[in-house]
Amino acid sequence: MNIIVCVKQVPEISDVRVNPETGSLVREGVASILNPFCEYALDHAVRLKNSVPDVHITAVSMGPPQAKAVLLRALELGADRGVLVSDRRFAGADTWATALTLAAAVRANQPAFDLVLVGKQAIDGDTAQVGPEMAEILGVPQIMYGVEMELMPNGKRLRVRRESETGYQVLESRLPVLVSASKGETIRRLPSFADILAARAKPMDMITADSLDLSEEQLGLQGSYTQVVKIFPPRAQKECRKLEGLTPALACGEIVSFLKQEKFI
Amino acid sequence: MHEIKSTVEKQIAFSEVTRAEGRECIQSEFLSYLSDESKLSVESCDYIFFPKNEAEVAAVVCEMSRLGIPLTVSGARTGLVGGGVPSKGALMSLERLDRVQALYFNTCAKEWRVQAQCGVSLANIKIMVANKRFSDLESSSDQKLLSALREFRLEPMEYIYPPDPTEMSASLGGTVATNASGARTYRYGPTRDWVRAIRAVLPNGEVLEIPRGKYFASTSGKFTIIDTKGQSRQLHVPDYPMPRTKNTAGFYAAPHMDLIDLFIGSEGMLGIITFIEVALCPHEHKCSLMLFADSDEQAIALVESLRSQSGLQLDMLEFFSQKAIDLLRERQTQETAALGMPPLPEQNVAAVFIELPFDPLAEDMNFARLAEAVERVGLSLDHSWAGYEPRELTRFKVFRHALPETVNHLVAERKRQYPALHKLGTDLAVPDDKLQPMWAVYRQELDRAGLQWLAFGHVGNNHLHINIIPQDPEEMSRGLEIYSSLAAQAVAFGGTVSAEHGIGKLKANFLKEMFSERDIARMKAVKHTLDPQGLLNPGNVFSS
């Protein structure tokens, strides 16, 4: 079984800061990490590998050369091979151009894939679009927000428990399929030190746009339908109303009325 | 040179110092100042002073001395032995002396140094040094200072201030006065090793400025302090031997010792440290490793193996006994995400936690020596957890701290039935060659007593925190007896009764386990020379 896991390097940010002059994210003093949702996706791949024989995991990342660090992390956590898709011509890619590039990289490196796993979104852009777009481009079914995955006994179908707005759904799909991962109950794995050392000996390939079956017009900014015009942090608002001098029952009533009035409930 | 002159800085009127007065007012509005992390507390005190500079500290000291009012000094109140809790009289909080004053490169020592007031928190120093941003200095008009700051920022190297006591909200002055240490003491030594200069207000209100390497005890073991009136006092350095371990019990003493070392770790008994210069150290990327062993004894053997492995540099070497891991696993069973870690191994395990320099992108990665040390005792690097990203290092740190938190939670539950109950946590350390014998004593004495206990802590320095968790008052009383006998055994092995927490008020009785009456009389003589009225930090170190 060939599993592809798409991974992205993101800044470890809990408090987004934007340089007011350049309009870009301030990355000074911010560490780069493997996007946590990608790590959950990888976790599902490793679970499958531990539960059925002959599973091979390829981690694929599109990014600058320093994104090699997150592929190393993926190799430490259980991936068998890393592929870094890196080229200056990818600069400025929006979600569509990114999905197109990643899909082309998947086709070029592992055309006989059975499962593509992605994080439900990256914590920097938060678009949650690349996964679904990739599924469309690759022409495979997609299941979003997966939290549990199980390969059916015939080895040809995958059962996925996915989060929905009202609870959970359990869906089954034939392979190949693309699944995006939510956090669910996942606690991030810790590799052993032996895993960390062994990862350095695993294969890691770097490919450029030349290896992909894409035209120049499909790459980077040129191939993007959207452009980031401006990045700004949301305006922090703190408006509060304090209920005082009320019995608990009356206070509850007030709160419920407020929530109804504001259409929260 | 063994002679030093004290000076008088600019005079400030005592009336200008911010204060709270009156036992009632203090009890109702300043309650948190009447206790510290040790949970020792008093009902109230007569005054709390909040000086904002050294001159105000001196003004308070002079006035209290004139009126004969005892004065206790507190920093961030993170101490574990009640040193900053006022026993009577007045309290002086140094929290407002919280400015970093300078940063410069010392060309002789070839090291960057930071000068700060005593009230700056370690957490702030850590952040300022890591980010190379010193808000206190950036608005300075001192061009030399600004130039040093620019130079520091342009350096590609990152820096740290190495001392790392668990409580990073501790004040710099507090950590110097108690010679604080932490897990990284294994590699970097305690706070003492990083202090390059101090200024201290003496009980007579005059100030000593003590750079390291200038004032040494004479061949006859004396320092001479000459005040501004020309009167000289002789300080006789005690002649007891120091334990061959890290130690915070009693005044530091050694032949030809540096005067600065007498003040560092003296728990504020000799003077009030107001200004400190510390050295910074280049930062290296690290990897945290939790190595699992099949038993406590195998974990101890692993410690010995790691320590004796040549060419292996570890930053920290910590221990989790099997019972400690059991307790954590129990918590994890109740709440999967409680520890933020994957499930702990199901079989009985103890663990050794290490941190070592690690560059994840290094071309040549060779850890054969580490593997050799681990395999020598029948273990494998396969049975480990490891992480090196900053968030993973933090994850391991949170996990390590989850153990004492879990113990405290358990004790709090039992306190509901027996309010007087508390955990008994030891702070004993022994020399390297006594680690295994001391561990055998712990196991034998505590298992025989049938008490719930576990061990964790700085095994690299042979400094384990044994936590006895009593079920009821009877068990607590037995636990206390065992604690005393363990302390006596540690001393018999050439160790200390207090490796890092200090003596303060809560462990004053233990000083007698370690020092003879003559030794303690020598310490008291040093105290008396500088503080003849005994007004500074009464009740600390020496039991009444």
Provide the residue-wise pLDDT of chain B in tens; the chain has 544 residues.
Answer: 889 999 997 888 899 999 999 999 999 999 999 988 888 888 889 999 999 999 999 999 999 999 999 999 999 999 888 999 998 899 999 999 999 999 999 999 999 999 999 999 999 999 999 999 999 999 899 999 999 999 999 999 999 999 999 888 999 999 999 999 989 999 999 999 999 999 999 999 999 999 999 999 999 999 999 999 999 999 999 999 999 999 999 999 999 999 999 999 999 999 999 999 999 999 999 999 999 999 999 999 999 999 999 999 999 999 999 999 999 999 999 988 889 999 999 887 999 999 999 998 888 888 999 999 999 999 999 999 999 998 999 999 999 989 988 998 898 899 889 988 888 899 999 999 999 999 999 999 999 999 999 999 999 999 999 999 999 999 999 999 999 999 999 999 999 999 999 999 988 888 998 999 999 999 999 999 999 999 999 999 997 6
Residue A254 lies in a domain: no
Q: What is the predicted pLDDT for the residue at A109?
A: 87
Residues of chain B with CATH 3.30.43.10: 3-96
Residues of chain B with CATH 3.30.465.10: 100-282
Is B221 exposed, middle or buried (CB count within 10 Å of its CB: 0-12, 13-18, 19+)? middle
Are A33 and B389 inside 8 Å of each other by CB?
yes
Could you tell me the CA-to-CA distances from A206 to A60, A211, A237 in Å, in that order?
10, 10, 45
Say yes or no for a CB contact (<8 Å) between A33 and B391.
yes
Q: With CB atoms and an 8 Å threshold, state whether B384 touches A194.
A: yes
Q: Global pTM?
A: 0.88
* Number of helical H runs and strand E runs in chain A: 6, 11
User: Which residues on chain B are in Cβ contact (under 8 Å) with A75?
Assistant: none
DSSP alpha helix (H) spans, B353-472? 368-376, 390-415, 435-449
The string of DSSP letters for B238-299 reads: P-PPPPSS---SS----TT-BHHHHHTTSTTSS-EEEEEEEE-EE---EEEEEEEESSHHHH
CATH architecture of the region B100-282: 2-Layer Sandwich (3.30)
The answer to whether residue B345 neighbours chain A at the CB level (below 8 Å) is no
Instruction: Give the gap in angstroms from C-alpha B286 to the nearest C-alpha of chain A.
Output: 13
- Interface contact B227, partner A, CB < 8 A: no
Write down the pLDDT at residue A22: 66
Among candidates A73, A189, A195 on the partner chain, residue whose Cβ is nearest the Cβ of B342: A189
Quote the radius of gyration of chain A (alpha carbons, Å).
Answer: 21
CATH of B3-96, one of 3.30.70.20, 3.40.50.460, 3.30.43.10, 3.30.413.10: 3.30.43.10
Residues 6+ apart with CB under 8 A from A146: A44, A160, A161, A162, A179, A180, A181, A182
φ, ψ for residue A156 (rounded to 5)? -115, -5
- Domain membership of residue A247 (yes or no) is no
Å from A1 to nearest chain B CA? 26
Q: Do B386 and A190 touch (CB under 8 A)?
A: yes
Residue A191 included in any domain:
yes
Which residues, including other chains, have CB under 8 Å from residue A35's CB and lie 6 or more apart? A7, A8, A9, A10, A70, A119, A122, A123, A124
The residue of chain A with its CA nearest to that of B370 is A193
CATH number for position A45: 3.40.50.620
Question: Which pLDDT belongs to residue A29?
Answer: 66
H-helix segments, B96-241:
122-131, 135-138, 143-154, 172-177, 185-188
Mutate to test the interface with B, among A7, A30, A47, A193 (most CBs of B within 10 A): A193
Short-list B127, B333, B279, CA closest to B341: B333
The Cα B507–Cα B500 span in angstroms is 12
Task: Give Cβ neighbours of residue A194 (< 8 Å, ≥ 6 apart).
Answer: B380, B381, B382, B384
| CATH architecture for segment(s) B286-425+428-492 | 3-Layer(aba) Sandwich (3.40)
Find chain A residues with C-beta within 8 A of B336's C-beta.
185, 187
Residue in A closest to B335 by C-alpha: A185
Tell me, yes or no, if B392 comes closer than 8 A to chain A by beta carbon: yes
Supply the pLDDT for residue A23.
65
Count Cβ atoms within 10 A of the Cβ of residue A141 and give its class: 0-12 exposed, 13-18 middle, 19 or more buried.
middle
Q: Retrieve residue B391's tokens.
A: 């968030």
Distance CA B488, CA A102 (A): 67
Residue A199 lies in a domain: yes
**β-pair type (B286-293, B384-387):** antiparallel
Distance CA A84, CA A122 (A): 17
Adjacent-strand bridge partners of B431? none
Low-confidence ranges of chain A (pLDDT < 70): 14-16, 20-29
Query: What's the CA dihedral at B262, B266, B271, B274 to 10 degrees?
Result: 90
Contact A29 B388 (CB under 8 A): no
Q: Do B367 and A194 touch (CB under 8 A)?
A: no
Report whether B306 contacts B377 (CB < 8 A).
no
Task: Judge: A194–B382 Cβ closer than 8 Å, yes or no.
Answer: yes
Whether A187 sits inside 8 A of B341 (CB atoms) is yes
Chain-chain contact of A192 with B388 (C-beta, under 8 angstroms): no
Whether the link from the prior residue into A176 is cis, omega within 30° of 0, is yes
Q: Does residue A35 form part of some domain?
A: yes
Whether the complex's predicted ipTM surpasses the cut of 0.90: no
Name the H helices within B322-389: 322-334, 368-376
Q: How far from chain centre, in Å, is Cα B234?
A: 29
Residues of chain A contacting B370 with CB distance shorter than 8 Å:
193
Burial label for A178, CB within 10 Å (0-12, 13-18, 19+), is buried
Q: How far apart are CA B274 and CA B117, in angstroms?
A: 6
Chain-chain contact of A190 with B287 (C-beta, under 8 angstroms): no
Cβ atoms within 10 Å of A112's Cβ, excluding its own: 7
DSSP character at residue B535: -
Q: CA of B131 to nearest chain A CA: how many angstroms apart?
A: 7
Comparing CA positions, the residue from A104, A90, A81, A73 lying closest to residue A10 is: A73
Determine, for residues B381 and A33 on separate chains, whether the beta-carbon distance falls below 8 Å.
no
**The residue to which tokens 């990073």 are assigned:** B168
Q: A9 CA to chain B: closest CA distance, Å?
A: 13
Chain-centre distance of CA A104, in angstroms?
17
Instruction: Give CA–CA dist B290/B216, Å, rounded.
Output: 43
B392:A190 CB<8 A: yes
Whether residue A154 is contained in a domain is answered as yes
Which amino acid, one-letter code, is at B465? H
Q: Does A25 touch chain B (CB under 8 A)?
A: no
Residue A16 is predicted with a pLDDT of 63
Name residues 27-46 of chain A within 8 A of B (Cβ). 29, 31, 33
What DSSP character marks residue B35? B
A73 to chain B, any CB pair closer than 8 A? The answer is yes
Q: Are A263 and A49 in contact (CB under 8 A)?
A: no
Chain B residues close to A192, C-beta within 8 Å: 381-386
Do the chains contact at B131 and A29, CB–CB below 8 Å? yes
What pLDDT shows up at residue B333?
A: 92
Cα–Cα distance for residue pair B17/B40, rounded to 1 Å: 27
CB contact under 8 A, A72 and B360: yes
Partner B contacted by A191 (CB < 8 A) = yes
Give the one of A31, A33, A192 whose C-beta lies nearest to B384's C-beta: A192
- Report which secondary-structure segment, H or E, holds A105: helix A95-109
Contact A185 B336 (CB under 8 A): yes
Q: Judge residue A265's burial from the number of C-beta atoms within 10 Å of its C-beta, 0-12 exposed, 13-18 middle, 19 or more buried.
A: exposed
Predicted confidence at residue B289, as pLDDT, reads 97
Please report residues of A whose CB lies closer than 8 A to that of B386. 190-193, 195-196
Positions of CATH 3.40.462.40 in chain B = 286-425+428-492
Half-sphere exposure at residue B168, Cβ-oriented, CA atoms within 13 angstroms: 12
Strand B19-21 vs strand B47-49: parallel, antiparallel, or unpaired? antiparallel
The Cα B415–Cα B421 span in angstroms is 6
- Cβ B385–A72 below 8 Å, yes or no? no
Q: How far apart are CA A7 and CA A58, in angstroms?
A: 10
In-domain check, residue A98: yes
Residues 6+ apart with CB under 8 A from B15: none
Whether residue A187 and residue B337 make contact (CB cut-off 8 A), yes or no, is yes
Half-sphere exposure of A8 (CA within 13 A, CB side): 24
Q: Is A16 within the bounds of a domain?
A: yes
* Dist CA B103 CA B116 (whole Å): 9
Interface of B with A in 354-383 (CB under 8 A): 360-361, 365, 367, 370, 380-383
B391 shares contact with chain A (CB less than 8 Å): yes
Query: Beta A204-207 vs A168-174: how paired, if at all?
Result: unpaired
CA angle B374, B399, B173 (to 5 degrees): 105
Both tokens of B532, joined, read: 């003849």
